[in-house]
């Protein structure tokens, strides 16, 4: 067995640290033939790379390098933007090739590296869920509903995408036949934690425990708050995000492979800020005293909740904790027809605040608004998973429509989870954890569609940067690359780059490729 010592080596003209390449272990799994589709990388070296030595890359030197590598390494060609196309030694999955590229990108002398994926004619995916036809909010916005979120083309981009955990901090979630498979533990009772600390408001006869399923949030005591039936709010939000799709049943969620983490913090008459903030921090993976460790930290945390007033210090602390751990916090703007500046936690820093749209692309009557709004999403007549019980659950596995910014926020959380799913660098450490949320927010806003000229949001920033567009957001995330410019190069140089640039690139690749040699041998044995 070959042992790789963590050290710094100088090969050719390129100095790199081998401990950054530790993911290439001898246990690297060779992809199966039907999952191998990436054969090339695109690599760009940092400016002035290799110009100090000026070594010329002759054909003889190239042949020597290929022989030294022990496999058919091939420099394909230079390309636009100063990058190069390199042929991989054997076909890889998109994920494997991207990990290889990420290792290259981590080197100080590499501006970026990415998998040279195949591009195909675009095909929209229409799920076979029987009630999908009634889900205007997920459909193509060019088909009569300008405010729709444009999911069919986004679904067409999701082959081999990763499963992403989304936390729903809400009233809890019910078992539902169209949702259970997408809960982290396959059922509502074991997929999170109940953070409600008062038996007066919990409606389940106890306080905090490991059963976060929704017993109902009905209230019959008008001394506590208004008399209401159970809302099943968390189940509706969770279904919007991640109801099973294309399963010939009920509705489609936005992300069919997401896993929902159930963080119950709202009960009868709402919930305490202290319970909500603990739920936020715990959902991101933070340790909370007296609460079991969260073994499924979420990359997306949905907060379809709020209250009047400024963002409290405890809320901001919990949100900052989640952001520092690489999570994105999505918040409903609120439904009081007022400025978001007076609605918490939508007015907290580092969140994505979501306003609600009609199918026409107008702001929903009652949606909060203001310069703190980040994006607008569908928020009226949203069809999702529900229950018919007026107090305790009837376990009816039914569906119904709801309206408001809670539903709009759920759309954004679902789309953000799709963005994570198609771009590994947003969750594998290539982007520093504390920068992930701002990166996602920037991509999401850039991808947003403009409001129709007839919309009451047109020409203003009070509704957000634009209308949520799932397809454009997924494409923006897929095309995102991590730039790592070498700021330590203070030597002279300049000009040229050409053949010595190629030599430096091969020096780097040759350090990595011996770790693939055994797998390449297996690949040849299995394909001859």
Helix (H, G, I), strand (E, B) or coil at 123: coil
Rounded Cα distance, 268 and 231, in Å: 10
Does residue 387 have an active-site annotation? no
Rounded Cα distance, 439 and 432, in Å: 10
Structure tokens at 159: 């082959």
CB 495 within 8 A of CB 51: yes
> Which residue stretches of 70-203 are H helix?
94-105, 151-155, 199-202
Q: Which of 439, 365, 424 is nearest to 100 (CA)?
A: 424
Rounded Cα distance, 20 and 33, in Å: 29
Quick check: bond before 420 cis, omega within 30?
A: no
Does residue 406 have an active-site annotation? yes
Mark 367-376 as b/e (b = at least 16 C-beta within 10 Å).
bbbbebbbbb
- Give the alpha-carbon dihedral of 376, 377, 378, 383, to 10 degrees: -150
Which residue of the set 116, 129, 170, 501 is catalytic?
170
Q: Which of 522, 499, 515, 525 is nearest to 49 (CA)?
A: 499
Rounded Cα distance, 259 and 253, in Å: 12
Q: What is the CA radius of gyration of the chain?
A: 26
Rounded Cα distance, 493 and 29, in Å: 41
Active site residues: 170, 233, 406
């Amino acid at each position: 067995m070959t042992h790789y010592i963590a050290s710094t080596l100088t090969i050719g003209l390129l100095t790199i640290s081998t401990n950054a390449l530790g993911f290439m272990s001898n246990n690297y799994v060779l992809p199966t033939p039907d999952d191998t589709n990436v054969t090339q990388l695109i690599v760009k070296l940092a400016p002035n790379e290799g110009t100090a030595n000026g070594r010329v890359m002759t054909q003889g030197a190239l042949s020597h390098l290929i022989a030294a590598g022990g496999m058919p390494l091939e420099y394909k060609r230079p390309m636009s933007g100063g990058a190069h196309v390199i042929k991989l030694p054997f076909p890889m999955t998109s994920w494997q090739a991207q990990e290889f590229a990420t290792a290259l990108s981590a080197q100080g002398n590499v501006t970026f590296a990415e998998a040279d994926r195949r591009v195909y004619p675009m095909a929209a995916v229409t799920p076979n869920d029987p009630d999908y036809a009634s889900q205007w909010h997920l459909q193509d916005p060019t088909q009569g509903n300008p405010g729709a979120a444009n999911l069919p083309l986004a679904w067409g981009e999701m082959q081999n995408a990763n499963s992403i955990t989304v936390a729903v901090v809400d009233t809890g979630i019910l078992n539902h036949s169209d949702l259970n498979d997408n809960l982290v533990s396959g059922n509502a009772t074991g997929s999170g934690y109940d953070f409600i600390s008062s038996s007066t408001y919990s409606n389940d006869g106890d306080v905090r425990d490991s059963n976060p399923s929704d017993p109902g949030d009905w209230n019959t005591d008008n001394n506590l708050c208004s008399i209401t039936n159970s809302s099943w709010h968390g189940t509706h939000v969770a279904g919007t995000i991640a109801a099973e799709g294309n399963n010939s049943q009920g509705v489609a969620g936005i992300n069919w492979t997401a896993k929902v983490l159930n963080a119950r913090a709202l009960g009868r008459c709402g919930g305490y800020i202290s319970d909500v903030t603990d739920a936020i921090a715990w959902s991101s993976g933070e340790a909370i005293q007296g609460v079991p460790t969260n073994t499924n930290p979420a990359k997306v945390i949905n907060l379809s909740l709020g209250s009047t007033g400024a963002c409290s210090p405890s809320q901001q602390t919990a949100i900052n904790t989640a952001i520092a751990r690489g999570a994105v916090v999505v918040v409903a703007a609120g439904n009081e027809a007022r400025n978001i500046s007076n609605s918490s936690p939508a007015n907290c820093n580092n969140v994505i605040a979501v306003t609600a749209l009609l199918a026409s692309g107008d702001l929903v009557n009652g949606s909060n608004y203001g310069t703190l709004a980040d994006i607008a999403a569908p928020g009226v007549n949203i069809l999702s998973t529900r229950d018919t019980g007026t107090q305790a659950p009837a376990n009816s596995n039914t569906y119904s429509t709801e309206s408001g910014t809670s539903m709009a926020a759920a759309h954004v959380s679902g789309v953000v989870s799709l963005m994570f799913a198609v771009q590994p660098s947003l969750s594998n450490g290539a982007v520093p954890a504390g920068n992930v949320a701002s990166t996602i927010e920037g991509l999401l806003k850039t991808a947003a569609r403009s409001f129709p000229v007839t919309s009451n949001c047109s020409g203003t920033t009070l509704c957000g940067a634009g209308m949520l567009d799932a397809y454009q957001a997924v494409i923006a995330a897929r095309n995102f690359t991590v730039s790592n410019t070498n700021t330590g190069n203070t030597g002279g140089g300049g000009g040229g780059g050409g053949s010595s640039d190629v030599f430096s690139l091969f020096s780097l690749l040759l350090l990595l490729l011996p770790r693939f040699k055994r797998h390449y041998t297996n690949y040849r044995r299995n394909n001859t």
